[in-house]
């Protein structure tokens, strides 16, 4: 599990640890990890390799300078571009010079960068505010323009460490070497896309960090631990019966895809209620279909409502009928048009909402751009306002539960990083709904069901033959499942 902490928390932990260690120890640990990562990128010829350090006026620049000194001692030709010559970290600068490295002003930066094999971004770390200032934006752009790989120190400069928001110019890194703990921005787009590969260097901060992280990302082991497994005494009802109210005369395919996601999500049985039963049976004869209202379809342990439902009073009536059931309900797609925050908050069983950015914007009364640029704030706001677990789809899928607990009375938040842009294909969201619904029916807590569903869906998106389509993502699920949990 990757656990991320906000700047305030990281700084408090650093202060506590520094109080017990000789001065400079943490920076030395950070610089050693950073230099090792750079050396690896420069293999097999570190000797003579031209390395340019972009050095801001804080400790982030200090890390870059000490790492540069280590590389210079091993024979690299290291030049530090000092963005503010008076305020460059004095100890770091002295170390670089003592190791044979050079320092230059910002004026010649582009010429140096154009000839470099590697650029180290030590402009700002957790002390950065807003997008890069003019003087820093130029060299950052030069690295991109000349195609020189950038290693970001702690964070790509210009991104917001706490939120993943990017307000202005920012560095685009091939690798980010982060210290002590992940920062939320490294897991949330648009910042995540600028971080490239992320490597965590242990500087001994662990024992000083609080038990509740601000953001969590599952690894395969976390997902595997949550996978439902049938026991000897299992029957189809105990494994979970899921009800699906999806599809319409206009969108019959959504019903088929949602049912497919549920069956491949390990449901013991799937009950389908709606007008697209013929198509569903044609593709999945395992399904129990009916045409009446969902509440007349028989007992289920969870419902999915919304994909392909279409609009109008009939769709709204179907959503209301499902929400009246005292079991977990996942609302997606067209179902999201007719939900009311107070009605959802009054439910005694949990609700899960799975909007994409456009649907989330409508639910929050804001613009799609605002949701996409402030994903973390948006998903938490959805969860709190609707009293539901909210899963915000997109390039990084975020999942939030409503408070209490967590920062500012908000609940836990998870980021899913298994996805691929190939998943942006019609109907793949329907598959995700069915999959999460099956996990809810199996008895998983709503946050776990949503996080596990997103994890499996992302892996299936990667495993499906390129280019994937929604039904081939469904068919990739058994392989993903088996890889996580070898069959007994």
Contact residues toward K ion (CB under 5 A) are 121, 152-153, 157
162 is in an annotated binding site: no
Q: Which does 56 bind (CB under 5 to 8 A by kind): ligand NAX, K ion, ligand ADP, none?
A: ligand NAX
155 with 186: CB under 8 angstroms? Answer: yes
For residue 118, what are the β-bridge partners? Answer: 51
Cα distances (Å, whole numbers) of residue 145 to 100, 112, 139, 150, 306: 28, 13, 10, 12, 46
Number of residues that bind ligand ADP (CB under 6 A): 18
Q: Which does 121 bind (CB under 5 to 8 A by kind): ligand NAX, K ion, ligand ADP, none?
A: K ion
| Mask for 118-157, x = binds ligand ADP (CB under 6 A) | ----------------------------------------
370 is in an annotated binding site: no
Q: Where does this chain touch ligand ADP (CB under 6 A) — which range of 266-274, 284-292, 339-347, 390-398?
A: 390-398
Q: Which is nearer to ligand NAX, 127 or 358 (CB)?
A: 127
| 38-67: contacts with ligand NAX (CB under 6 A) | 56-61, 63
**Which residue from 35, 126, 246, 304 is in contact with ligand NAX, where contact means CB under 6 A?**
126
Interface with ligand NAX, residue 208, by CB under 6 A:
no
Cα–Cα distance, 36 to 216 (Å, whole number):
27
Bin 204: left if φ > 0, else alpha if -120 < ψ < 50, else beta. left
**Residue 347 CB partners (closer than 8 Å, separation 6+):** 323, 329, 387
Interface with ligand ADP, residue 397, by CB under 6 A:
yes
396 is in an annotated binding site: yes
Interface with ligand ADP, residue 261, by CB under 6 A:
no
**Which residue from 113, 126, 262, 432 is in contact with ligand ADP, where contact means CB under 6 A?**
432
Q: Which of 267, 270, 389, 395 is nearest to 331 (CA)?
A: 389
Q: How far is the CB of 445 from ligand ADP (least distance, A)?
A: 20
Cα distances (Å, whole numbers) of residue 393 to 259, 300, 420, 453: 20, 26, 12, 12
Q: Checking DSSP bridges between strand 118-122 and strand 397-400, what pairing results, if any?
A: unpaired
45 with 77: CB under 8 angstroms? Answer: no
Compute the chain's Rg from CA coordinates.
Answer: 25
308 is in an annotated binding site: yes
60 is in an annotated binding site: yes
**Residues forming the site for ligand NAX (CB under 6 A):** 14, 18, 26-27, 30, 56-61, 63, 123-133, 136, 153-154, 179, 203
């Amino acid at each position: 599990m990757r656990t991320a902490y906000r700047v305030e928390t990281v700084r408090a932990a650093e202060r506590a640890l520094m109080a017990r260690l000789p001065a400079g120890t943490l920076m030395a640990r950070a610089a050693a990890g950073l230099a090792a990562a750079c050396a690896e990128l420069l293999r097999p010829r570190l000797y003579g390799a031209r390395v340019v350090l972009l050095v801001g006026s804080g400790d982030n620049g200090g890390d870059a300078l000490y790492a540069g000194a280590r590389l210079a001692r091993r024979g690299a030709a290291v030049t530090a571009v000092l963005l503010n010559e008076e305020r460059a970290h004095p100890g770091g600068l002295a170390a670089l010079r003592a190791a044979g490295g050079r320092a230059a002003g910002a004026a010649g930066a582009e010429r140096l960068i154009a000839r470099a094999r590697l650029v180290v971004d030590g402009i700002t770390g957790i002390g950065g505010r807003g997008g890069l200032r003019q003087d820093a934006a130029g060299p950052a752009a030069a690295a991109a323009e000349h195609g020189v790989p950038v290693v970001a120190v702690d964070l790509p400069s210009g991104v917001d460490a706490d939120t993943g928001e990017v307000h202005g110019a920012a560095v685009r890194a091939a690798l980010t070497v982060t210290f002590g703990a992940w920062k939320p921005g490294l897991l949330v787009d648009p910042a995540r896309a600028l971080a490239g590969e992320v490597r965590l260097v242990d500087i001994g901060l662990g024992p000083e960090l609080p038990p509740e992280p601000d953001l969590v990302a599952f690894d395969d082991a976390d997902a595997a631990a949550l996978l439902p497994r049938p026991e000897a005494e299992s029957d189809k009802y105990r494994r979970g019966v899921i009800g699906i109210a999806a599809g319409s005369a206009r969108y019959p395919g959504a019903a088929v895809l949602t049912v497919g996601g549920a069956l491949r999500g390990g449901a013991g049985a799937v009950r389908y209620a709606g007008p697209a039963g013929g198509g569903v049976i044609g593709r999945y004869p395992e399904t129990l279909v009916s045409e009446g209202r969902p509440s007349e379809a028989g007992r289920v342990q969870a419902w999915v409502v919304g994909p392909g439902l279409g609009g109008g009073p009939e769709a709204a009536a179907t959503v209301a009928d499902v929400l009246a059931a005292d079991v977990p309900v996942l609302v997606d797609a067209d179902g999201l048009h007719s939900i009311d925050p107070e009605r959802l908050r009054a439910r005694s069983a949990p609700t899960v909402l799975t909007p994409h950015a456009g649907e989330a914007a409508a639910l929050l009364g804001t613009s799609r751009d605002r949701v996409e640029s402030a994903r973390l704030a948006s998903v938490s706001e959805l969860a709190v306002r609707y009293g539901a677990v909210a899963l915000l789809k997109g390039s990084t899928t975020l999942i939030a539960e409503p408070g209490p607990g967590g920062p500012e009375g908000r609940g836990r938040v998870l980021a899913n990083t298994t996805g691929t842009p190939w998943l942006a294909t019609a109907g793949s969201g329907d598959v995700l709904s069915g999959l999460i619904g099956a996990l809810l029916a199996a008895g998983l807590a709503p946050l776990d069901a949503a996080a596990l569903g997103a994890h499996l869906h992302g892996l299936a998106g990667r495993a499906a033959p390129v280019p994937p389509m929604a039904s081939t993502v469904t068919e990739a699920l058994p392989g993903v499942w088996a890889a996580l949990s070898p069959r007994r």
